[in-house]
């Protein structure tokens, strides 16, 4: 037995070196060497690389790294991914001939990384055995399946009136400070023990926001099943642009292995502004609001990768919650309308409701879930349908009360129930609720068991109901009569206890 065979059988670094030597052949190799002609603002212009292609990785002699983003007859425009202080005009550049990817696998759970997979949490680099390309084609139609399983967010309004299914893309849209990120964090926290791996992507956020988000996830035990991808505001623009694609690639790896994933993009408005900045620096022609013409396709390519796979393709799913910011509630602005047309529905947060003290400030009239109803549990769907009719009737009648008109008893009752329902739908942040509780309060409301409750006291009633429900064995599939019998026992008991 030769020595090379012995090394090859050992499987170590020497074996790999021996295998490489056995296959090595002398021959003419041609490589291009360019040089930096200009650098600044996260952009580098390179001359002397006529063979470079879009999305090629460039290695600089000083150790910097860049991604080819634009091609002209004389120069290559690249966005910097890593930059040293030694990078300057004249630095030698070569094409690495490889595509940009990120290490993926279960080792990323509980970790905070940058879009290139480098750890940001002070711990050693995650030991991942697989690699996933950041840019990849979305699954073909034959590999997809209908959205058929619910993904519960723990929010009363979302889980009943605007349901989300696994594999759905649901946009969260609203002005800054109305609780968009809080909704997404609640959804992540609610996935504990639900066998859903989560990825939270923070794009261009302040460091204080990044730290708060990570600490919230850690405090509520959600970091253990979550990977946080961070490209904060001080990061290179190229990293901010790649951050959502890195998060998508991580979730895509799990989805392709038959697992359910949830990915949050916080937020795509900042991502669009970063892409506009890069495009203007690269002298691309501006379009509407100075955005490049392909900003729509960039977001479409990203969100189209979220889907529910068919059984033959592994039966995994990737649910996406992209967040987008509006200005003064202008939902018809360029980027929000683009994303609304790409996604399967939107959750709209209204500043007027927020100022009126309604939390979460979800405008039910402007929010919609186009496909989530197919995934909703039939019992919750039936009860929510009855409740929604009452609420819509209330919204129509509420207009008359503004004129001081005298109302009939039936209208007064409908308005009273509407005010009660509005109080029921209030919910504190970071308190996601289980699906059984959603069904419990729906049944109680639809059967009038809450009609005599003062809206100011309904919060206490629901807390008592949640405690009673936690000790019961009622399930979503339990017959409705059993639910009613239990609710009749629990709610009068609460009334006697509180003396109401």
Q: Which DSSP string corresponds to 455-495?
A: GGGHHHHHHHHHHHHHTS---TTS-HHHHHHHHHHHHHHHH
**Which residue among 370, 386, 416, 489 is the active-site one?**
370
**CA gap 98, 57 in Å, rounded:** 6
| DSSP for 339-400, written as a single string | HHHHSSEEEEE-HHHHHTT-SS-B-TTT-EESSGGGTS-HHHHHHHHHHHHHHHHHHHHHHH
Residue 265's SS3 state is strand
Tokens 């609203």 sit at which residue?
A: 174
C-alpha to C-alpha distance for 452 and 419, rounded to whole angstroms = 12
> What is the 8-class DSSP label of residue 193?
T
How far apart are alpha carbons 445 and 468 in whole angstroms? 17
Distance CA 157, CA 442 (A): 11
In the numeric block, which tokens belong to residue 226? 């979550």
**SS3 letters for 73-109?**
CCEEEEEEEECCCCCCCCCEEEECCCCCEEEECHHHC
Peptide bond into 267 cis (omega under 30): yes
Please give the distance of CA 288 from its chain centroid, rounded to a whole number: 26
Q: Are 109 and 126 in contact (CB under 8 A)?
A: no
User: Measuring CA to CA, which residue among 457, 388, 384, 391 is closest to residue 418?
Assistant: 391
Which secondary structure element, helix H or strand E, spans residue 268, and what is its range? helix 268-281
Q: Which of 334, 191, 320 is nearest to 245 (CA)?
A: 320
- Residue 223 in contact with residue 110, Cβ under 8 Å? yes
CB 67 within 8 A of CB 238: yes
| 370 carries an active-site annotation | yes
The whole-angstrom separation of Cα 306 and Cα 391 is 32
Report, as residue numbers or ranges, the catalytic residues.
370
């Amino acid at each position: 037995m030769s020595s090379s065979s012995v090394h090859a059988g050992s499987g170590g670094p020497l074996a790999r070196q021996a295998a490489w030597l056995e296959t090595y052949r002398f021959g003419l190799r041609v490589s291009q060497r360019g040089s930096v002609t200009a650098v600044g603002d996260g952009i580098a212009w390179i001359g002397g690389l006529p063979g470079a292609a879009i999305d090629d990785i460039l290695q600089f002699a000083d150790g910097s790294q860049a991604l080819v983003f634009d091609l002209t007859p004389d120069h290559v425009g690249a966005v910097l991914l890593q930059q040293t202080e030694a990078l300057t005009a004249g630095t030698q550049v070569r094409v690495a001939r490889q595509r940009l990817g990120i290490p993926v696998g279960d080792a990323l759970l509980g970790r905070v990384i940058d879009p290139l997979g480098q750890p940001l949490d002070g711990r050693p680099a995650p030991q991942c055995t697989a690699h996933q390309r950041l840019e990849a084609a979305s699954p073909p139609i034959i590999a997809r399946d209908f959205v058929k399983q619910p993904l519960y967010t723990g929010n009363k309004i979302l889980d009943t009136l605007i349901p989300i299914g696994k594999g759905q893309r649901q946009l969260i849209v609203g002005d800054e400070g109305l609780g968009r990120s809080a909704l997404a964090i609640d959804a992540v926290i609610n996935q504990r023990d639900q066998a859903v791996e989560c990825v939270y992507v923070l794009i261009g956020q302040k460091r204080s926001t990044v730290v708060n988000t990570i600490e919230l996830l850690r405090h509520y035990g959600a970091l253990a099943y979550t990977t946080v991808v961070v490209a904060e505001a001080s990061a290179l623009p190229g990293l901010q642009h790649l951050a959502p694609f890195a998060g998508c690639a991580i979730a895509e790896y799990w989805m392709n292995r038959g697992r359910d994933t949830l990915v949050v993009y916080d937020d795509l408005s900042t991502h669009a502004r970063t892409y506009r900045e890069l495009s203007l620096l690269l002298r691309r022609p501006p379009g509407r609001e100075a955005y490049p013409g392909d900003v729509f396709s960039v977001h479409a390519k990203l969100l189209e990768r979220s889907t529910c796979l068919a059984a033959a393709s592994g039966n995994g799913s990737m649910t996406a919650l992209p967040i987008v910011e509006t200005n003064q509630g202008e939902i018809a602005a360029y980027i929000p309308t683009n994303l609304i047309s790409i996604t399967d529905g939107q959750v709209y947060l209204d500043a007027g409701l927020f100022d009126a003290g309604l939390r979460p400030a979800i405008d039910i009239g402007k929010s919609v879930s186009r496909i989530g109803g197919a995934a909703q549990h039939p019992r919750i769907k039936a009860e929510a349908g009855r409740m929604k009719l009452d609420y819509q009737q209330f919204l129509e009648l509420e207009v008359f009360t503004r004129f001081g008109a005298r109302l009939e008893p039936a209208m007064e009752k409908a308005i009273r129930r509407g005010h009660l329902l509005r109080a029921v739908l209030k919910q504190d942040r970071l308190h996601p609720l289980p699906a059984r509780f959603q069904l419990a309060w729906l049944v109680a409301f639809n059967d009038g068991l809450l009609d005599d409750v003062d809206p100011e006291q309904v919060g206490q009633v629901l807390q008592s109901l949640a405690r009673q429900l936690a000790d019961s064995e009622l399930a979503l599939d339990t017959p409705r009569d059993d639910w009613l019998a239990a609710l009749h026992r629990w709610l009068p008991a609460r009334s006697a206890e509180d003396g109401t």
